[in-house]
Structure formats: structure tokens, C-alpha cells
Structure 1
Amino acid sequence: MLPTTSLTSRDQGNGSLNSREAARHTAGAKRYKYLRRLLHFRHMDFEFALWQMLYLFTSPQMVYRNFQYRKQTKDQWARDDPAFLVLLSIWLCVSTIVFALVLGLGFVETIKLLLWVVFIDCIGVGLLIATLMWFVANKYLIKHPGRDYDVEWGYAFDVHLNAFYPLLVILHFIQLFFIHYIIMQDSFIGCFIGDTFWLIAIGYYIYVTFLGYNALPFLKNTVILLYPFALLVLLYVVSLAMGWNVTKALCIFYKYRVK
């Protein structure tokens, strides 16, 4: 899950890793260690994962600064502790159930919505975005192509999870307090508030994603990852001009999908 395969200073004595060190640093070995820790809850640092979730809202730069510290101490950028993933999964399930209650869905419909949100909205879309970002970063953003630097797919997915969490809280929690009484009403103010929630949520997703790739010192021109902001604002203005309430449309879509 390392975003870079560069050699550390302790490995540069003879210019290559010895066989034991090489085995420990392979992507397969790291993936096996990460997945194995999913079965040992007492070995996970949930307190630190909660700290990361808090700072993804208040100061996301601090979260990625910690990623840099991990690279210095453990020679690994991506998380080696699945506590964040576990807490995110729990929050995703709980918020989706509450969202289903707000929409007035039954038990079976709630289960269908939960499966849709987990496997399509989070995992499916996440895999697609992570793969796209992994390709773009390695194809166009590497400072010195051909050297032993690359953004691995695992780190790209880790960045997606960081950016997805604030979006989830904004759309699946904060927005719920406004759905019935304001957003779902046939009025401009309902359209304005609903679309503004989407503007903030997706805008924050773009920003946190930018910070994730900007933290990697071997990438260049990462500012281009902020360019989608312009398209986002344009779509926001167009949706208000057309009176298209995105939240209301998505609620109707979800109700249609689970029936």
C-alpha cells in the first residue's frame, strides 16, 4: 500500500534491499498485514482514528502531516491500522439507516438502501475514483518519470476514504435536519439549501483529495486537482437557475431503486 517504492537511507548501503526486507515491503505483505489486523479489534487504535475524523473537518492538513510522519517512522504513507475503515463503515451503516427512517422506508427497503449505499455509492464509486486518480497521478503528475517513485492504488483508495467521510457526514447527517421541513418543499429556498449542501460536500471532497496528493513530495502540479471546483460551481449555478433540487431528486431515485 506504499505510494512510493523509493529506498530508505538504511537500505542504501549496498543499493538494494536484502531478501527479508524486500519481502516485508511488498504490497502483498502489507495488504496481508492490514487485512489480518481487521480480525483483532484490540490491536486497533480507535482513539487515533477518531482524532483523524475530527481533524478531517477542522484541519485536514494535520491528518496528511501525520501521513508524512508515518512515512518517516514506518516507511509507509498509507494507514497500517484499519481502525479508520472500521469506524467509517459503522458510521456509514448507522447514517444510512437514519436516512432511511427520514425517508419513511420499511425494513426490507432499508436493507436494500444500505446495500446500495455501501456497495455502490461507497465501494463501487470509490474503486472507480481511486483507479482514475491512481492513473492520472502516475501518468501525468510524477516529477521524474522512470525513477523508483509511483503512487500505488492502495494509497489512492486511502485518500478517497479520507475525502468521503466529510461528504458522508454533510449529506447523511447534517442535511437530514433540513430535508422534511425545507429541502423537500417545492420552493426556491428548498432547492437552494439542498443544492448548497451538495456544493459544500463535493467541494470538500475535492479539497481533501487535493491535500492527499499534494502531501506526496514526488508529485508535481497537484493544483490541477482543484480545477473541478470551477465545473462544480457552474453546475451549482445551473441547477439553481433550472430549479433542480438535487437532494429531492436523489431521494426520489433512492425510493425508486429500493422498491
Structure 2
Amino acid sequence: MVTSRGERRKMLPSTSVNSPAQGNGVLSSRDAARHTAGAKRYKYLRRLFRFRQMDFEFAAWQMLYLFTSPQRVYRNFHYRKQTKDQWARDDPAFLVLLSIWLCVSTIGFGFVLDMGFFETIKLLLWVVFIDCVGVGLLISTLMWFISNKYLVKRQSRDYDVEWGYAFDVHLNAFYPLLVILHFIQLFFINHVILTDTFIGYLVGNTLWLVAVGYYIYVTFLGYSALPFLKNTVILLYPFAPLILLYGLSLALGWNFTHTLCSFYKYRKTRPTTLKTSNLLAVHLTVLSTPAIIKAQRLCLQKGYGNIVKEAQKIWINQN
């Protein structure tokens, strides 16, 4: 249940966020055992399967404000630190709603790309476990290490960035990127973006610029919200190479969305090995037969089909 601002003020403790009693300072033995990383992780995973205990209304509120006012979302993280002595979420409702968004948007992506049922399922598994979870674990661990190693203030060495908070920051930043690239972009893919025109890759690459730029910005807000970190402005530095890459892509005609769609559509459909007959057919290219060479190009595009059959079809048409 979402409390009002007045109720929250009454519930807030009198100590500040930076006080040792509320920060990562000294806790009683009972509180220390209750607030260990293992205990927090166990509590979070246990609640992951108890939907009645999740506050989906508040999670939906956070998703809305990640677009309109992401600073308000991180102010709530301050409130959680003061009341529960942890920065990271203890309610997996946000993760559950994000997973639902991933499923819906990926199914839409598969429909737009005219993928079959099993190809869409493979794409869904890839997006969930690789694009979101796998990349998220990598980025979160990297940011957790960098922030604790280089961004903690000298006078605040007793404080540290929770790994769970680093993962929450990634999820916060990933959600707007997901909506822009996996939902809004779907309405422009077939009729605008994939038309091999300047307008096509201008629209597509601009959506990528906005999505990745917003990811960087929300990540910056997440770490700048921690009062014991310094020089968090360096997290905005990736904007420079991002804008440079955007300009180069327009100059060179590189369509980011076209590359993504090709990767999604053909990643799992191309066999990793060739059959013996096809392998022998590849060696026939030394004869420089135009039909075989043309068939080889077609089969590479289609995913290593039977080169001999394609060559026969082309030879028959030519004669």
C-alpha cells in the first residue's frame, strides 16, 4: 500500500541517512545477523513466490515515475534505507512486473519479425536470461566493484554499495530501455525503420540513442542518490562516445535496429555445422561455376541450406 507524503513524514526516523545507526555502521548482534547479505537474499527469494505479499501497485507506480520523474523513485530508496536499513528492494514485485513486460514485448517482437512459435520461445528465453538477467548481473557486478573501489568518499570508508542495490539500479534503467526498444519501436519497424532509407535508420538509431542515453541517465541518478559516493558525474561520460557513435551511424548508413532484428531472427535458425553433402558442395566452388557461386550466396543468407539443390535450380532456370 502506498502511503501519503504526510504519513511518510510521521514514519520517518529522526536520524539522518548518514548517521552510523542507520547507515552501514555498527549494529547490534541480532540486527547484524538479520541484515547480512545472505539473510536479505533469502528473504527476497522467499517472497518471490508469494504474490499476495507483493505490492504490485507500488511497483507500477515506480515504473510510471521512471519515465516522468526518476528522482522520486530514488527518494523512496532513501526512505527504505531509513526504515529497513537497506538500500536494495526487499519486494520482488518490480522484478515480476518487469518479467511480464519482457514476455509481452518479446512476443510482439516475434510477431513483427514473422517468427514461428518455437523461434519466439527461443527469443523469449534469450531476452530474459541473456539480455536482462545475464547482462544485468555483469553490469551490476562491474558497477558494484567500481563504485566501492573508486567512488566511496574517504571519510565514508565504513559504507559500501550493496550489490542488490546495484542490480536494482540496472533494473530501473533497463525498464525504460525495454519499453522504447521492445514496444514503441515495434510500431515503426516494418513500415519505417527497415525500409533501407535515411528516414528509416534516422528513426531507428534515434530511438536507440534515447533508450541507451536514458539508461545511462537513470544509472547516474541511482548512484548519485547515495550520499557516501563522490564524483558520480563520471557515470555520464559515456554520453560522449554514444553521441559520436550515433553521428557515425547516420553518416555510414548503419541501421542499429536492422542489425538487432537480423541477430534475433537468424541467431537460432542457422545450424552450427554443415551436412556432408553440403560440405562437399562447398568444395565445388573451385570450379567457378556461376550457378554454384550464386547458390552459395543464397544459402548463406538462408542459413546454410542444400547448396547442390539451389545450384540445380539456378542451372535449370539459366538453361
TM-score bracket, normalised by the shorter chain, equals over 0.9
- Write the letter of the residue equivalent to 2:196: D
| Contact 2:202–2:250 (Cα < 8 Å) also in 1 | yes
Tell me by how many angstroms 1:10 deviates: 11
Matching residue of 1:142? 152
Matching residue of 1:245? 255
Instruction: For structure 1, list consecutive stretches of 5 or more residues without a partner in the other structure.
Output: none
Q: TM-score of the superposition, structure 2-length normalised?
A: 0.76
Matching residue of 2:21? 8
SS in 1 for 2:142: helix
Q: TM-score of the superposition, structure 1-length normalised?
A: 0.94
Equivalent of 1:97 in 107, 119, 136:
107
Equivalent of 1:209 in 188, 194, 219:
219
Tell me by how many angstroms 1:145 deviates: 6.6
Number of aligned positions between the proteins: 253
Matching residue of 1:163? 173
- Write the letter of the residue equivalent to 1:234: L
Q: Comparing both chains, which one has the higher relative contact order based on Cα–Cα distances under 8 Å and sequence gaps of 6 or more?
A: 1
Tell me by how many angstroms 1:22 deviates: 1.4
Cα gap change, 1:6/1:100 in structure 2, threshold over 3 Å: closer, same or farther? Answer: farther
Query: Where in structure 2 are the equivalents of 1:177-216 lying within 5 Å?
Result: 177-216=187-226
- Write the letter of the residue equivalent to 1:122: C
Tell me by how many angstroms 1:231 deviates: 0.6
Cα gap change, 1:101/1:47 in structure 2, threshold over 3 Å: closer, same or farther? Answer: same
Tell me by how many angstroms 1:7 deviates: 3.7
Cα gap change, 1:136/1:79 in structure 2, threshold over 3 Å: closer, same or farther? Answer: same
SS in 2 for 1:181: coil
Would you say 1:151 and 2:173 are equivalent positions? no
Equivalent of 1:129 in 139, 146, 155:
139
Distance 2:122 2:21 in 1: 48
- Write the letter of the residue equivalent to 1:149: Y
Distance 2:23 2:165 in 1: 23
| Contact 1:143–1:220 (Cα < 8 Å) also in 2 | yes
Equivalent of 1:20 in 26, 30, 47:
30
SS in 2 for 1:184: helix
Cα gap change, 1:180/1:9 in structure 2, threshold over 3 Å: closer, same or farther? Answer: closer
Cα gap change, 1:34/1:49 in structure 2, threshold over 3 Å: closer, same or farther? Answer: same
Tell me by how many angstroms 1:114 deviates: 0.6
- Write the letter of the residue equivalent to 2:102: L
Cα gap change, 1:256/1:7 in structure 2, threshold over 3 Å: closer, same or farther? Answer: same
Tell me by how many angstroms 1:106 deviates: 0.2
Tell me by how many angstroms 1:148 deviates: 1.2
Identity score, percent: 78
Displaced runs of 4 or more, over 2 A: 4-7, 9-12, 16-19
Tell me by how many angstroms 1:72 deviates: 1.2
| Contact 2:22–2:85 (Cα < 8 Å) also in 1 | no
Distance 2:161 2:217 in 1: 19
Would you say 1:255 and 2:265 are equivalent positions? yes
- Write the letter of the residue equivalent to 1:237: G
- Write the letter of the residue equivalent to 1:241: A
Matching residue of 2:302? none
Tell me by how many angstroms 1:131 deviates: 1.1
Matching residue of 2:86? 76
Tell me by how many angstroms 1:58 deviates: 0.3
